């Protein structure tokens, strides 16, 4: 038991400075549009165009001036307009400039592969702008998810943060 406690103390010592830093957080709902290149070739999709809805959490480590380090977690379900559930989850790391412009990149896991080749892990890159709206904020984000079989995805989403 003492060894476990002693093993945890260095981790606690390393994490305490991070907890003392200034963070700001946003959480909210998202909805928007997905385009899947080659989606009409899939046996599951009727069209390349899909409606998307989900939730997103953002945490930013404040840099003290105009630049913050950004972490984003997003879970989205697309294709409900075609009676298809195509869930995906993304974890992004990037930058936030003046608490408005976001740029990030990271892994994406999708439970739906339109190519049928078993390509469930992808890279996602995204850029967005968040407008202040009093107690809330309104994000507008664009993302790109390439695929080795040519079934890339482009998404445009908006929503509300609190």
pLDDT of residue 13: 58
pLDDT at residue 12, rounded to an integer: 56
CA distances (Å), origin 22, targets 16, 73, 135: 12, 19, 19
Where in the sequence is the domain holding 103, given as residue range(s)?
Answer: 22-161
What's the structural domain count of the chain? Answer: 1
Distance CA 84, CA 160 (A): 25
**What are the residues whose beta carbons fall under 8 Å from the beta carbon of 18, sequence distance 6 or more?**
61
Q: What is the mean pLDDT of each run of 10 residues along the chain (162 residues)?
A: 65 58 94 91 87 97 94 97 94 97 97 86 97 97 93 96 96
In a domain, 17, yes or no: no
- Radius of gyration of the CA atoms of the chain, in A: 19
In a domain, 10, yes or no: no
DSSP for 145-158, written as a single string: E--TTS--EEEEEE
pLDDT at residue 40 in the model: 78
Please report the pLDDT score of residue 64 as a whole number: 86
Q: What gap in Å lies between CA 30 and CA 139, rounded to an integer? A: 9
pLDDT at 1 (0 to 100): 60
Confidence at residue 21, expressed as pLDDT on a 0 to 100 scale: 80
Domain annotation covers residue 11: no
Please give the helix or strand (H or E) that residue 133 lies within, else none: strand 121-133
Q: Does residue 75 lie within any of the structural domains?
A: yes
Residue 12 lies in a domain: no
Q: In whole angstroms, what is the distance from residue 77 CA to residue 86 CA? A: 5
Asked if residue 34 belongs to a domain, the reply is yes
Of 126, 118, 113, whose CA–CA distance to 152 is shortest?
A: 113
Where residue 80 sits, what CATH number does that domain have?
A: 2.40.160.20
pLDDT given at position 17: 57
Instruction: Indicate whether 5 belongs to any domain.
Output: no
Which candidate, 158, 156, 161, places its Cα nearest to that of 50?
156
Token pair in block for residue 42: 């899939």
In a domain? residue 79: yes
């Amino acid at each position: 038991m003492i060894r476990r406690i002693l093993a945890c103390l260095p981790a606690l010592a390393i994490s305490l400075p991070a907890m003392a830093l200034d963070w700001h957080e946003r959480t909210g709902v998202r909805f928007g549009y997905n385009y899947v290149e080659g989606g009409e070739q899939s046996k599951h999709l009727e069209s390349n165009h899909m409606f998307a809805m989900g939730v997103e959490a953002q945490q930013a480590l404040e840099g003290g001036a105009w630049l913050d380090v950004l972490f984003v977690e997003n879970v989205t379900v697309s294709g409900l307009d075609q009676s298809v559930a195509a869930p995906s989850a993304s974890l992004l790391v990037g930058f936030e400039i003046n608490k408005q412009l976001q740029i990030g990149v990271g892994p994406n896991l999708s439970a739906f592969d339109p190519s049928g080749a078993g390509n469930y892990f992808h890279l996602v890159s995204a850029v967005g702008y968040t407008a202040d709206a009093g107690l809330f904020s309104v994000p507008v984000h664009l993302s790109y998810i390439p695929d080795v079989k040519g079934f890339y995805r482009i998404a445009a989403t908006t929503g509300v943060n609190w």
